Amino acid sequence: MTAIIALVGRPNVGKSTFFNRLTRTREALVADFPGLTRDRHYGTAQFEGHQYLVVDTGGFEPEEREGLVAAMAVQTRLAITEADAVCFLVDAKEGLSAQDAEIAEELRRGGKPIYLVVNKMDAKGAVSELPEFHRLGLGMPYTISAAHGHGVEPLLEAIFSDLPNPEDEAAAAAAGKGPRIAMLGRPNVGKSTLVNAMLGEKRVLVFDEPGTTRDSIRIPYERQGKPYVMIDTAGMRRRARVGEGLEKLSVLKTLSALREADVVLLVLDARLGIAEQDSHLVGVAVELGRPIVVVVNKWDGMNPEQRKAVKQELERRLNFIKYAPIYTISALHGTGVGDLYKSIDQLWIDSRRHFSTGELNRALADVIETHQPPMVGGRRIKLRYCHQGGENPITLVFHGNQVARLPGTYKRYLESAFRRALHLEAVPLRLVFRQGENPYDPQLKKGKH
């Protein structure tokens, strides 16, 4: 499972700065959901091979009982409940406050691993001694400067040394199981009906396994002798009984399900079309590199003109995932479900394919012969070497000269050409470009001795 780290603290202690430091926001996936704690921020991050989710909560004032501040406190508590670890930020410049003590007391009652983080240690007037923060009773404080990155690495090392090894968990979860399928979509588009249709009358249901504390449900089962795992996110959007009737959306659960999934089914209601939330969920899956199948449900209730309009809307709104297969079904009657499984099985295979370096470089030579990279500043950009850097998503790493100046049009040409050459028409393909010569060139190795 992907770890979730919540950033908690009173207002203006540097949580958002720390969030940006961890996620490198311009590169990371950041999901902003208006209406949740005045735009609660969620992002993905990496540290020494660990991928994790981080949530930046609003300023926490646990004693408030009314108004927006109280609603923000409710949302912060939800984030704490769903987190695997909590970073409690305090301000070295302002020192310990009564509000810090209130937050510490609530965090102790929650029972989650708490890491006391003293931020702004580089600020003028910051405390040089930490005994006052020891009084919070949360163990040894970690001192950092979120603005400059000082002290962040030791903190993350401590967090990940305490958390379970995700590789061990993933290996255990995958043992004897096939594709993990996440089903996403807005309420009332027919997700639950489709889950039942996909499990089917002929299924061999192994067991219903409550997942993590994040409440995701995994349903291992078999179909025609093949193992699958359904990650059920049904009910991911619920009406909360708080304050001004805010909607509680378990964003963390959804992001975690997307990270865990091998194939994502985005379920749409043919009558309702595509909403902003649908587009956002697709964008999340794309950023994470997960294969996507667009499932248009309730197709049987549409007349020819309506079907034509829906297809046009899909082409327009989902233009950024032209590679994703689209299926029209009726979950209620079970029509089209068999075709879904064919697509899932193929995507599962394709997203895990391994290509030899020789095969990739032969393809690269053919691609360049057909259409060379452009000239920049009087010199032609050269792509010298390609190798596979990962799977799900399949990642191709290109080495060459001036690759940073390679235009987007040529990158799109490369992606399209390699899709055809490698027969990867329906799965995400990620291209990475690195400046430099072929690291495996024997001539280069000789020159280093």
* Numbered residues of the known binding site: 9-16, 56-60, 119-122, 185-192, 232-236, 297-300
The answer to whether residues 184 and 249 touch, using CB atoms and an 8 Å cutoff, is no
In 235-328, DSSP assigns E strands to 237-239, 247-249, 263-269, 292-297, 326-328
Start-to-end CA span in the chain (Å): 44
CA distance 283 to 166: 25
Coil, helix or strand at residue 5: strand
Amino acid code (one letter) for 202: K
| Helices within 35-151 (DSSP H only) | 67-82, 98-110, 131-134
Residue from 249, 216, 255 nearest 45 by CA? 255
Distance separating alpha carbons of residues 312 and 175, to the nearest angstrom: 42
Give the C-alpha distances (Å, rounded to integers) separating 248 from 34, 77, 291.
11, 12, 27
Return the DSSP state at 2.
-
Reduced to 3 states, what is the DSSP secondary structure of residue 352? coil
Is there a contact between 292 and 393 (Cβ–Cβ < 8 Å)? no
User: What tokens does 86 get?
Assistant: 């909590």
Neighbours of 301 (CB within 10 A): 12
Binding-site members for GTP are 9-16, 56-60, 119-122, 185-192, 232-236, 297-300
202 neighbors 223 (Cβ within 8 angstroms): yes
Residues 6+ apart with CB under 8 A from 140: 116, 134
How long a stretch of residues is the chain? Answer: 449
Classify residue 369 by its DSSP letter: H
Pick the closest to residue 317 from 291, 290, 296, 338 (CA basis): 296
Phi-psi region of 216 (alpha: psi -120 to 50; beta: other; left: phi over 0): beta
**Considering only CA atoms, which of 275, 89, 317, 84 is closest in space to residue 188?**
275
Distances (CA, A) of 189 to 270, 295, 328, 360: 9, 10, 13, 42
